[in-house]
Amino acid sequence: MGNNISLTLKVWRQNDAQDKGRYESYKLEAVSVDSSFLEMMDILNEQLVNEGKEPVAFDHDCREGICGMCSLYINGRPHGPDDDVTTCQLHMRKFKDGETITIEPWRSAGFPVIKDLIVNRNAFDTIIAAGGYTSVSTGGVPDANALPISKIDADEAMDAASCIGCGACVATCKNGSAMLFVSAKVSHLALLPQGKVEAARRAKNMVAKMDELGFGNCTNTGACEVECPKGVSISNIARLNREFLSAKFKD
């Protein structure tokens, strides 16, 4: 079958957070190149269940690239060899017949492994809870032109808001830094009038929480931007630096 490929998978298996973990190899015959990477994982798990073995645990939810649940570090890159897509949108046509695919969890001190390929990304929620919101009362729907926002700001805010919180930026960063994520969350609010009220406090609190949770110091390697499935730009990191520094200097 020209449309099918056979694969060897080298998968990280780890029983729980305390377990040391190990790699295990599995063979898959006749995987359709039209299937998605997660469908391939489903096929693997079905095979494992049929053999009476424990299936591989991995994160996923929407499977359409919008929820940020899927992860997986595939052949040296978070979200695999394709650019600007999440693992759930990665297709098997990106792989060759007979290829060995290494599948690992995100590895970073801020994201401890829970089981197999699932890591604990609660740290991101904790950072959001530290200030990634606006606390104005919303009231009724405002008039469209009551609060003018420039097209440039609206576009940049929208681009920053496209961050789905997957953590690929941390996974690829040699410094284990969460700056791309935090800068996206600070930027999409800082650019809009509704977010300006709490801008200074937000930048300070979110950065403090990020540091407290043990993420690294950004040295601007730019790897995060390359691996971000949503193409969030490191210009947001410059904005976060600006927001944070001016907030601190005002104190």
Partner 1 sequence: MGTFFGSSIGKKFVMSISGLFLVVFLIVHLAINLLLLVPDGGETFNAAANFMALPAIKFGLQPVLALGFIVHIIYAAIITLQNNKARGSAKYASGNKTKDVMWASKNMFVLGATVFAFLAVHIYQFFVPLQITHSAPELASGGHDTYTLVANALTCIPTVVFYVIGSLGLALHLTHGFWSAFQTVGASNNIWRKRWTVIGTVFAWVVGLAFSAIAIAMYFIGSCGGCN
Type of residue numbered 102: T
Asked if 43 touches partner 1 (CB under 8 A), the answer is no
- The length of the chain in residues reads 251
Match 């609660």 to its residue by tokens.
Answer: 122
Q: Is residue 191 within the footprint of ligand SF4 (CB under 6 A)?
A: no
Nearer to ligand FES, 59 or 243 (CB): 59
Residues 39-68 that bind ligand FES (CB under 6 A): 60-63, 65-68
User: What tokens were used for 76?
Assistant: 């040296």
Q: Does 219 bind ligand HEM (CB under 6 A)?
A: yes
Least distance in angstroms from the C-beta of 205 to ligand SF4: 19
Write down the least CB distance from residue 176 to ligand FES, Å: 22
Which residue, 67 or 200, has its beta carbon nearer to ligand FES? 67
197 CA to centre of own chain: 28
* Contact partners, residue 34, CB within 8 Å, separation at least 6: 3, 91, 92, 93
Smallest gap from residue 139 Cβ to partner 1 (A): 31
Nearest of 117, 63, 58, 57 to residue 88 by alpha carbon: 63
Q: Which two tokens stand for residue 207?
A: 């950065």
In this structure, how many other beta carbons lie within 10 angstroms of the beta carbon of residue 194? Answer: 13
Helix (H) or strand (E) holding 104: strand 100-104
Give the footprint of ligand SF4 on this chain (CB under 6 A): 163-169, 180-181, 184, 228-230, 232
Give the footprint of partner 1 on this chain (CB under 8 A): 10, 12, 23, 73-77, 102, 104, 107-110, 113, 172-177, 179, 204-205, 207-208, 210-212, 214-223, 226-227, 233-235, 237-246, 248
